[in-house]
Chains A and B, each alone.
Chain A
Amino acid sequence: MILFIVVFCLAEAKTVQAAAENCTVCHKGITPQGRHAALPCLACHLRESATVGNPALADNRAVGCVACHSGHERIFEHAMVVRGGERRFVERSYARVDSGFWLKNCDSCHVQGCLDCHGEGHAIQKPSVEACQSCHKGYYTGWDYSGRAPREDNMRYQRGIEVEGETFLKMLPDVHYRAGMTCGACHSMDSLALGQRSSKQCRDCHTPSQRPVEHRIAAHLQRLECYACHSAWAPQEYGTFFLRFRDSALKEGFDLKPGPSPDYLRSAYLKSQDAPPLGLNAAGRVSPIRPQFIAYYTDIMSARNSGPENILLAAEWRAWFPHTIQRGTVTCEGCHDNPRRFLHEPGSGRIYQLEKDGMQLESFWLQDGQRVINGDFVSASRYLRLSSKSPAYTKAYVEKWKTFLNRVDNSSH
């Protein structure tokens, strides 16, 4: 279909070119590259009399592009432009204390036109992984695909390799990234224009082999997303803090990474990158979940005048797909003997004493006072069921370890 469109465009372009353009009389030295190289200027810029300066803007619904790429302008109705989820989160959290919060802190990442992703100016191309990652970075899924996790916010930790001026912890990249696949392989333009998350599900390409014992457990295949087990790690932020500075002189002593707004500094109580907790997604399947966000707010000036501080504005989790897929997984007890992973942390195993620090939650790994915004937590009774050592579990478990141990050398290297 795409090929057909391109061929059609090129054919049509020839006709326009035949009429000869005057554009290059003034606009010298502009040579479009790539697929669009052969096109005349007006194929995109439309009319000599009323030229469309930037034919690829969301504001004009990419009027110059859609003549060929018809329907793709619908992407402007969806998440990357509208950012409804993020807006609604801010409305129910930080906007309660600062109506300008969205503009100050969240306005730097949204799609404004086709060229945000499709190359620069006259060198239009398919989006590279890097192009997607210019927004899908930090805590937002995308960076993790290349093996990057956010570092701690204190400047002491802001070190090491930088990409686009941002530092990160080096993690094991997704197996698809290592194989050279770009984001577009699973997130086609058509699917994005339709407002879908992706064009490919795991099982569109992969049929679970019956060889690994885990795949032979019916409940695993029926109730779990593949990525519940195969996401090797995931950035998790426990306690996101936005500190508001009405006077920049107050920032002294807060040696934190500067953000987009001079009015704010962002920090976190704890970040981790291990296998994320599990919950239920909107489809009711077991999926990784993470805080997004357990949001706190301190107005520094007010706090220094005995006002409230560390106000808990939201304690929300999201079910999501970390892009950190590996062939391997954690061991069985990574889930089946791990109540913390389902937010059922027993008091005896509690490390962080949030209440002593006025955090208004007993523990991040307890469901009380928290919710999954697009799914649910796994209930206590369900966790008990899944962690009980039934004969079937024991049998599979022993087989799993036997298979593994039979292939472990006694020697070291």
Chain B
Amino acid sequence: MRFLAIIISLLAFLLSACTQKDQNRPGCGDCHTALEHVSAAHDDCVTCHGGDPRATDKKRAHASLRGPANPSAPGTWADACGRCHRYQLERVTSTIMQTNAGMIRNIQLTWEGEDGRAYTARGGKHFDANGKPVEYAAVEDLDNLSGELYRKFCSRCHIGSRNAESYASAHASGCAACHFPWNDTATYEGRDTTMKGRGGHSDSHAMTALPDTRVCSRCHNRSGRIAFSYQGLYDGNNGLVPTSGGEGGPVMASGARNLVHIAPDVHCAAGMECIDCHTSRDVMGDGFAYRNMYLQTEISCEDCHGSAGDVPRYREITRENDEALRESKNYRQPATSGMRMIQTAKGRSYSNVFYQAGAIWLQGKRSGKLYRSKVITGTPEHTIAGHGRLECHACHSRTSVQCYGCHTSYDKGKPGMDFIRGEETPGSFSESEDYRMLYPFPLALNQRGRISPVTPGCQTFVTVAEQDGSRSKFEYISKFRGKQQLRFAPFYSHNSGKKAVTCAECHGNPAFLGFGQHVVEGNSIKGTLICERSDSKPLDGFLTMDKGRVKAYSAITREHSRPLNGSEVKRALSVNLCLPCHSKAADPIYRKGLNLRALDDTLHRRLLSR
């Protein structure tokens, strides 16, 4: 009896599957019997994939497939996704994740690779931030070491290239890179038995309109490692301990790196995901081709939390074609007309952050959960004279990943995979490293003239072995801004905390000013972790003080960026004269510029002579 029931239910299941198949996937469904629907709106195979659904054998059916497996790849995306989603496609073709213009430009700048031309991963015509036509050369034609480095190393994390090899970092190319998430082993684990267990495919055929944090983490786990820091993971010393089930652990990432747990970003701990802050224009682009990531990014902390002087701005949805209405269609609670949407730093509406009943609310795009944003405008801690120049994350970063000493070898005698050309060519890169740390972190002026954490970007030492084995370069420090020097780059680690670095910590520890690990000796500040190419220059900093004189050894990349100068260092350290008594940031003396002569007035002299 029980057996019969099983047979009946099985038959019923098969019948229902067939009905579904017949309706939506004529032909294809004969083999791909249980392949997931992409989404309710994407219910037919051929529109996206092409192919011949009437053919009865696999070969002919697949002959005209786009992709073949991934029609959203750049070669075919115009005919696949782009037929319906032209607006999105046109943005994505010029987004920084597709052009990689910033990555390539930075490598050119720091590897002596400038040749007067601007490159992108594939080259092509775009519009620059001012709306003017601009043409980029293809990085394939960047015929020097910087081009090689991009093509053989950095291009792995380019949404235009598929990466099916890297554990926990595999992704498709094109739209599918984000919208068809791959699992750690890049294996299809869905219901379709034809595809089950096959490598180089998404975890399932179901599309995700709203990618989760793990999707971003597949790429944003190197260099600045922001996706790791955000989630409270750190690939520090690669010690592979503590072990997990007798393997390296506790969590493994691509490149045989192990991750340990650190305190996550306060937003992550609350349940927010990457896309809850980052707008689709941040990620998919806004139609203009930007030179660097920081020019494309349109959001800032102040958008939701306010700045010292200005509360967050909002704009009411009054038109039916408002971006926020379209963008929020897949959210639990789509935006509606009349809602007051908070504005990004570029003055565009967030689709999930709004002003209501005197408060600012953020809706988790995937979860629908509401978060109330705390506005700091006017609070004494945030109106300290002189702190107007600070980025929020100068104080509110819990940690900031710093990788010191990136020793890169290029061996012309060995072949290396060129991921842009899709073939092995002579020349292979390998890397070794000196030291990594999280805290404290140095501060310097960023491209906005504001004080921001900076991280090595990069401290590259290049060794080149020619084909005959001879070394044409050994631990070479390349020229930047006309002289041989290492570089730091302004950086937001994405490991923010509610609690800020305290006043005494930052002002009393010269490491925050860029001196690295150090000792204070008379009126000198000496680094204790030394660059091995020098006798006294700090590896983990860029300043020294020699008999009262501040010297800077490294550049800060990005326009207008620089280390703090002597008078700024002196000013920052002078606050220590007030801090032991005026220890709270809310103390009224910090509302106006410090008057250090006050220390000599009667009151202070009396207090200090007790």
**If the complex has contacts A157-B237, A269-B241, A331-B510, are A357 and B246 also in contact, measured as CB distance less than 8 A?**
no
Instruction: Please name all residues of chain B whose beta carbon is closer than 8 Å to the beta carbon of A171 when the two chains form the complex.
Output: 528-530
Cβ of A259 < 8 Å from any Cβ of B?
A: no
Q: Which of B499-557 contact A (CB under 8 A)?
A: 499, 502, 504-505, 508-510, 517-524, 526-532, 539, 545, 547-552
Cβ of A117 < 8 Å from any Cβ of B?
A: no
Considering the chains assembled together, what is the distance between the CA atoms of A349 and B399 in angstroms?
10
Cβ-defined partner of B522 (8 Å) among A270, A331, A401, A407: A407
Cβ of B587 < 8 Å from any Cβ of A?
A: no
**If the complex has contacts A309-B243, A352-B260, are A156 and B238 also in contact, measured as CB distance less than 8 A?**
yes
Q: Which of B236-271 contact A (CB under 8 A)?
A: 236-250, 256, 260-263
Q: State whether A334 touches B240 (Cβ < 8 A).
A: no
The CB with the most chain B CB atoms within 10 A, among A239, A296, A300, A413, is that of: A413
Cβ of A378 < 8 Å from any Cβ of B?
A: no
Question: Quick one: closest A residue to B566, CB to CB?
Answer: A412
Instruction: Please name all residues of chain B whose beta carbon is closer than 8 Å to the beta carbon of A330 when the two chains form the complex.
Output: 518-520
Q: State whether B570 touches A254 (Cβ < 8 A).
A: no
Q: State whether A172 touches B438 (Cβ < 8 A).
A: no
Instruction: Please name all residues of chain B whose beta carbon is closer than 8 Å to the beta carbon of A269 when the two chains form the complex.
Output: 237, 239, 241-242, 260
Cβ of B8 < 8 Å from any Cβ of A?
A: no
Considering the chains assembled together, what is the distance between the CA atoms of A301 and B527 in angstroms?
44
Cβ of A170 < 8 Å from any Cβ of B?
A: yes
Q: State whether B577 touches A402 (Cβ < 8 A).
A: yes
Cβ of A410 < 8 Å from any Cβ of B?
A: yes
Q: Which of B567-606 contact A (CB under 8 A)?
A: 567, 569-570, 573-574, 576-577, 580-581, 583, 599
Per-residue 0/1 for A162-189: is the Cβ within 8 Å of any B Cβ (1 yes, 0 no)?
A: 0000000111100000000000000000
The CB with the most chain B CB atoms within 10 A, among A172, A255, A356, is that of: A172
Question: Quick one: closest A residue to B499, CB to CB?
Answer: A348
Rounded to whole Å, the gap between the CB of A152 and the closest CB of chain B is 4
Considering the chains assembled together, what is the distance between the CA atoms of A253 and B248 in angstroms?
7
Number of B residues near A (Cβ < 8 Å) is 80
- What's the interface size class on A, roughly? 35 or more
Q: Which of A132-146 contact B (CB under 8 A)?
A: none
Question: Quick one: closest B residue to A304, CB to CB?
Answer: B246
Considering the chains assembled together, what is the distance between the CA atoms of A402 and B610 in angstroms?
18
Rounded to whole Å, the gap between the CB of B163 and the closest CB of chain A is 20
Q: State whether A409 touches B431 (Cβ < 8 A).
A: no
Q: State whether A300 touches B246 (Cβ < 8 A).
A: yes
Question: Quick one: closest A residue to B550, CB to CB?
Answer: A412
Q: State whether A271 touches B237 (Cβ < 8 A).
A: yes
17 chain-A/chain-B pairs, Cβ below 8 angstroms: A152-B238, A154-B238, A171-B529, A232-B519, A239-B241, A269-B239, A271-B237, A304-B245, A306-B245, A309-B245, A389-B583, A397-B576, A405-B577, A407-B523, A409-B566, A410-B566, A410-B570
Further pairs besides A171-B529, A241-B242, A327-B519: 17, Cβ < 8 Å? A157-B237, A267-B241, A298-B242, A301-B246, A310-B241, A328-B520, A351-B262, A351-B439, A352-B260, A395-B609, A395-B610, A398-B580, A408-B545, A411-B550, A411-B566, A412-B549, A412-B551
CB within 8 Å of B: which residues of A?
147, 151-154, 156-161, 169-172, 232-233, 239, 241, 243, 250, 253-256, 267-275, 296, 298, 300-306, 309-310, 324, 326-334, 337, 348-353, 356-359, 389, 391, 393-395, 397-398, 401-402, 404-405, 407-413
